[in-house]
Amino acid sequence: MKFVDEYRDPTRARSIAEALKQKVTRPWTLMEICGGQTHSILKYGVDQLLPELVTLVHGPGCPVCVTPISLIDQAIEIAKLSSVIMTSFGDMLRVPGSREDLLRAKSAGADVRMVYSPLDAVALAQRHPDRQVVFFAVGFETTAPPNAMSVVRAHQLNLKNFTILTSHVLVPPAIRALLSAPDNVVQGFLAAGHVCTIMGTQEYEPLASEYRIPIVVTGFEPVDILQGIYLAITALEEGRAGVENQYARSVTREGNRPAQAVIARVFQICDRAWRGIGTIPQSGLELRAEFSDFDAARRFGVEHLVAEESPLCHAGDVLRGVLRPPDCPAFGINCTPENPLGAPMVSSEGACAAYIRYGRLKRAATP
């Protein structure tokens, strides 16, 4: 199958890994900024092919994982209203708020439904004019265009019973926050190919220049990731900074201009709280004033809800790459897929879930 089998070719993967061993001369730490890449790395054993001098750490690349706990509580509060049909993608229904998740609210009588597209929620609002339909809109730049289109479509249809609860986050400000942190150890990044398919690569160029680091846009198959690591390590060994595009079969420098246009039409940039990390300036998207009637938090008056993380959960350290999931004291004990404390154990892109799924349970040796 073109663009799948050849990027899972074990002979090709081992060849790149061997070339990498010949290239590296000193310790380097890279971060992948996508949960899908994290799962591929662990599923295919990419990290086990790397030389000891190359360390991979996992970043906040799972939008479900970084959705603030207070926003999940807002979604649950809205869902419990008898007039509301709450919709979202499957992962969001299981992410714990401060007391419960949306599936538990559903089991207690709330009308919570999984959909495959925000436009499914718009169609649901058309079919149920007597109900308020809310779509819990979560994601990086990748899902912002369809979520924006749902608002555009609802506006065109003059729907008064459709709103979105927005938790969109942006990748470049998160990279900036990580690089600016006093405990940062990351020397290069693997950027997410699907995000760059929408936004292009040029928005990473100022970051690479300012912090003198390589940023390599990569795909999601093992050969993609290994090629991305090789390019990043080569740049580090040669003292080069800049942006390189391993995923050129899908990504251009300019990105998808029509998708960018619909995002800009519906959303504006705002400060955004990231679960476990805190507020990152200019790192989120919120509805523009002209579309404020489609703001669920505003319509249902839940903006005031706040919540605190479980003190047992170290998701923030995992999401910042300063802690491996097995090194969290709650991992696999208090926090399991059946009883998750934090979102990284719930989401299909979460790092903690990946370590459980692929049997990476060993804690780091203490010095």
Per the domain annotation, does 159 fall within a domain?
yes
Asked if residues 97 and 76 have their Cβ atoms less than 8 Å apart, the reply is yes
**Count of the separate structural domains present in the chain:** 1
DSSP 83-95: TEEEEE-HHHHHS
Task: Give the model's pLDDT for residue 367.
Answer: 40
Comparing 143 with 277, the larger pLDDT belongs to 143
Task: Give the model's pLDDT for residue 312.
Answer: 85
Q: Is 225 exposed, middle or buried (0-12, 13-18, 19+ CB in 10 A)?
A: buried
Task: Give the model's pLDDT for residue 73.
Answer: 94
Comparing 140 with 343, the larger pLDDT belongs to 140
Mean pLDDT for 170-180 is 94
Task: Give the model's pLDDT for residue 339.
Answer: 82
pLDDT tens digits, 206-216: 999 999 999 99
Domain that holds residue 148: 69-169+255-300
Per the domain annotation, does 80 fall within a domain?
yes
Task: Give the model's pLDDT for residue 323.
Answer: 86
Average pLDDT, the chain: 93
CA distance 148 to 261: 10
Per the domain annotation, does 107 fall within a domain?
yes
Contacts of 333 (CB under 8 A, 6+ apart): none
Distance of CA 199 to the CA centre of its chain: 15
pLDDT tens digits, 116-166: 999 999 999 999 999 999 999 999 999 999 999 999 999 999 999 999 999
The maximal CA–CA distance of the chain, rounded, in angstroms, is 66
Per the domain annotation, does 259 fall within a domain?
yes
Structure-token match 């892109």, residue found: 349
CA distance 123 to 154: 9
Q: Is the pLDDT of residue 258 over 80?
A: yes
DSSP 127-187: H-TTSEEEEEEEESTTTHHHHHHHHHHHHHTT-SSEEEEEEEE-HHHHHHHHHHSTT----
Number of neighbouring beta carbons within 10 Å of residue 160:
12
Q: Is the pLDDT of residue 285 over 70?
A: yes
Task: Give the model's pLDDT for residue 364.
Answer: 62
Task: Give the model's pLDDT for residue 366.
Answer: 44
Helix (H, G, I), strand (E, B) or coil at 304: coil
Per the domain annotation, does 327 fall within a domain?
no
pLDDT band at 4 (very low <50, low <70, confident <90, very high): confident
Per the domain annotation, does 218 fall within a domain?
no
Domain harbouring 95, CATH code: 3.40.50.11740
Contacts of 338 (CB under 8 A, 6+ apart): none
Task: Give the model's pLDDT for residue 322.
Answer: 84
Task: Give the model's pLDDT for residue 275.
Answer: 81
Per the domain annotation, does 276 fall within a domain?
yes
Q: Is the pLDDT of residue 72 over 50?
A: yes
Tell me how far CA of residue 350 lies from CA of 44, 65, 84, in angstroms. Answer: 16, 6, 29
Q: Is the pLDDT of residue 63 over 90?
A: no
DSSP 331-346: BTTTB-SSS-SSGGGT
pLDDT band at 71 (very low <50, low <70, confident <90, very high): very high
Per the domain annotation, does 27 fall within a domain?
no
